[in-house]
């Protein structure tokens, strides 16, 4: 006899993503049990089990690529002495307003020096690098951390997008020449494309950020933006050419082949895994819930037995056989809970499980199962003897299908603008504006302020890859254009 259904039915997302993104995102976080904001420190979020399992998989994939490219892992303390920050003036100016400070310890009272909860690791690592780097033979020196950082974010926080604690990877490298350092920056961008576009199915494009928006202490910053398909972008991995701006104050030197002592040239790279996960939710998800790439779903296949009175045991027996045949190769869940079939469908769609196998009495009679793909809802009727081969094929192609659907044609999102009114109209219509600009140097900052105030977007920078558009004058001040930039709203 079927078990009595005692739990309340589960329903899907009730808000349209297109009509009200903010409400949709909040509902998916709650209903899919991804994060809990009720922790009693403002701006700090609990990542629930489902999100944590995916994030761990994302870390593992990224770390594997970093190590393939010659980076070695480190684990660093989370506390940084205040004196470390003051060695690089722009860095301390940029980060001090965001720092959480530890000032007391135990019964001993106030500390003799304030300790910062790590907002980023340059000033911790670079105090150690002179102890480890001595000769050109030690270069290139490529290390990374998988860690948490803390920043006193004053803007509105939102789980995974923006918070006061986030989870990321930092790679910090030292080279003998500026050219080698720039090659590393290019490799960082290639890694971001490989991870975000190929593995996580999220489209990005790299911009060289304006000087007023670069990492504090960097020579140049190159940052990826996710193209959300609504004229809005979300910043993702950024890589920074530091030059000798940190090696000189931190005394990071090496003896070259001629016996001459020189300062190293540095880079750093920061893919924020928690923020990438937020982009995955926001970009791939639909009005049913999450959509996840196959390899990153905590459960890849769910089996739902459809029970009818008098047929319960034979259906469950077949469902268990299918489970046993698949469990050694895939992460499989047999859902024999008390929930109704409809509630199970809603629940696993919310969770973004890639494949659902349905088995009912009629399927057993016909020696078949029904397989439903989460990302497009297509149903496939598969003979039982063909199931393993068909599942292998579906698993292999699932993420490829998501990528094909999700890779927005970037050019279709761009509106070329020669006048400010045209740029305002384009931004209001959900487009990304391409226009002429004075430059991305600090002397163009007044024009950037006008962009923010009057147009309602932000100068994201100039494309790092090939630029197709040229302009004679700056959109704002009318002076000769020094470069082509892109303007967009951002999450």
pLDDT tens per residue, range 71-111: 999 999 999 999 998 888 788 787 888 899 999 998 878 99
Mean pLDDT of 401-429: 91
| Predicted pLDDT at 4 | 44
Three-state SS at 224: strand
| pLDDT tens string 169-214 | 999 999 999 999 999 999 999 999 999 999 999 999 999 999 999 9
Residue (of 193, 223, 231) closest to 207 by Cα position? 223
Instruction: Tell me the average pLDDT of the chain.
Output: 93
| Predicted pLDDT at 3 | 46
Exposure letters 340-354 (e unless 16+ CB within 10 A, then b) = eeebbbbbbbbbbbb
Mean pLDDT of 238-258: 97
Mean pLDDT of 119-130: 95
Alpha carbons 204 and 227: distance in angstroms, whole number? 6
| pLDDT tens string 274-311 | 999 999 999 999 999 999 999 999 999 999 999 888 78
| pLDDT tens string 300-351 | 999 999 988 878 899 999 999 999 999 999 999 999 998 999 999 999 999 9
Indicate if the alpha-carbon torsion angle 62, 64, 69, 71 is positive or negative: positive
Q: Look up residue 348 and give its two tokens.
A: 């696993």
| pLDDT tens string 208-231 | 999 999 999 999 999 999 988 777
| pLDDT tens string 373-414 | 999 999 999 999 999 999 999 999 999 999 998 887 778 889
Exposure letters 79-89 (e unless 16+ CB within 10 A, then b) = ebebebbebbe
Alpha carbons 148 and 466: distance in angstroms, whole number? 35
Q: Which segments of 18-106 does DSSP mark as H helices, in order?
A: 21-31, 49-68, 82-85, 89-95
Give all domains of the chain, ordered by start, each with its CATH number. 21-284 (3.30.930.10), 294-397 (3.40.50.800), 410-490 (3.30.110.30)
Q: Look up residue 440 and give its two tokens.
A: 């991305």
- Max Cα distance, the chain (Å): 87
Alpha carbons 463 and 446: distance in angstroms, whole number? 21
Using the predicted structure, report yes or no on whether residue 448 has a pLDDT greater than 60. Answer: yes
Mean pLDDT of 234-252: 96
% of the chain beyond a pLDDT of 90: 84
| Predicted pLDDT at 1 | 41
In eight-state DSSP terms, residue 10 is: P
Mean pLDDT of 43-49: 95
Is 121 within 8 Å of 250 (Cβ atoms)? no
Using the predicted structure, report yes or no on whether residue 36 has a pLDDT greater than 70. Answer: yes
Residue 7's pLDDT band (cuts 50, 70, 90): low
């Amino acid at each position: 006899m079927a078990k009595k259904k005692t739990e309340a039915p589960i329903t899907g997302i009730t808000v349209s993503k297109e009509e009200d993104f903010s409400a949709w995102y909040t509902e998916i976080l709650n209903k899919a049990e991804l994060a809990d904001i009720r922790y009693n420190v403002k701006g700090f979020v609990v990542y629930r089990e489902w999100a944590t399992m995916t994030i761990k998989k994302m870390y593992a994939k990224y770390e594997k690529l970093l190590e393939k490219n010659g980076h070695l892992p480190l684990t660093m303390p989370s506390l940084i002495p205040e004196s470390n920050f003051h060695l690089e003036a722009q860095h301390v100016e940029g980060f001090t307003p965001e720092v959480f400070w530890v000032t007391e310890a135990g019964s001993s009272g106030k500390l003799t020096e304030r300790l910062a909860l790590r907002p980023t690791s340059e000033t911790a690592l670079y105090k150690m690098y002179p102890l480890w780097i001595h000769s050109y033979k030690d270069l290139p020196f490529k290390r990374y951390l998988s860690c948490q950082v803390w920043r006193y974010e004053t803007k509105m926080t939102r789980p995974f997008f923006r918070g006061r604690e986030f989870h990321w990877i930092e790679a910090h490298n030292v080279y003998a020449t500026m050219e080698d350092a720039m090659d590393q920056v290019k490799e960082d961008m290639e890694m971001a494309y490989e991870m975000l576009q190929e593995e996580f199915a999220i489209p990005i494009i790299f911009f060289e950020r304006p000087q007023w928006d670069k990492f504090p202490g960097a020579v140049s910053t190159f940052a990826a933006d996710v193209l959300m398909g609504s004229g809005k972008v979300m910043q993702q991995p950024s890589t920074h050419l530091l030059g000798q701006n940190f090696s000189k104050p931190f005394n990071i030197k090496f003896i070259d082949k001629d016996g001459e002592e020189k300062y190293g040239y540095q880079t750093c790279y920061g893919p924020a895994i928690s923020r990438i996960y937020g982009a995955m939710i926001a970009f791939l998800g639909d009005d049913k819930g999450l959509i996840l790439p196959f390899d990153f779903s905590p459960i890849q296949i769910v089996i739902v037995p459809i029970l009818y009175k008098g047929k319960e045991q034979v259906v469950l027996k077949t469902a268990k056989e299918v489970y046993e045949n698949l469990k050694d190769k895939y992460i499989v869940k047999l859902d024999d809970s008390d929930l109704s079939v409809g509630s199970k469908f809603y629940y696993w769609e919310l969770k973004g499980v890639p494949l659902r196998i349905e088995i009912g009495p009629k399927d057993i009679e016909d020696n078949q199962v029904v397989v439903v793909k989460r990302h497009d809802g297509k149903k496939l009727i598969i003979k039982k003897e063909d199931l393993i081969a068909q599942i292998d094929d579906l698993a292999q192609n699932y993420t490829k299908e998501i990528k094909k659907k999700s890779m927005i044609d970037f050019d279709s999102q761009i509106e070329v603008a020669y006048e400010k009114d045209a740029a305002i109209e384009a931004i209001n219509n959900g487009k990304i504006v391409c226009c002429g600009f004075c430059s991305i140097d600090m002397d163009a900052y007044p024009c950037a302020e006008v962009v923010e105030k009057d147009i309602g977007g932000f100068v994201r920078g100039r494309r790092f890859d090939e630029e197709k558009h040229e302009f004679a004058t700056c959109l704002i001040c009318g002076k000769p254009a020094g470069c082509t930039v892109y303007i967009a709203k951002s999450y």
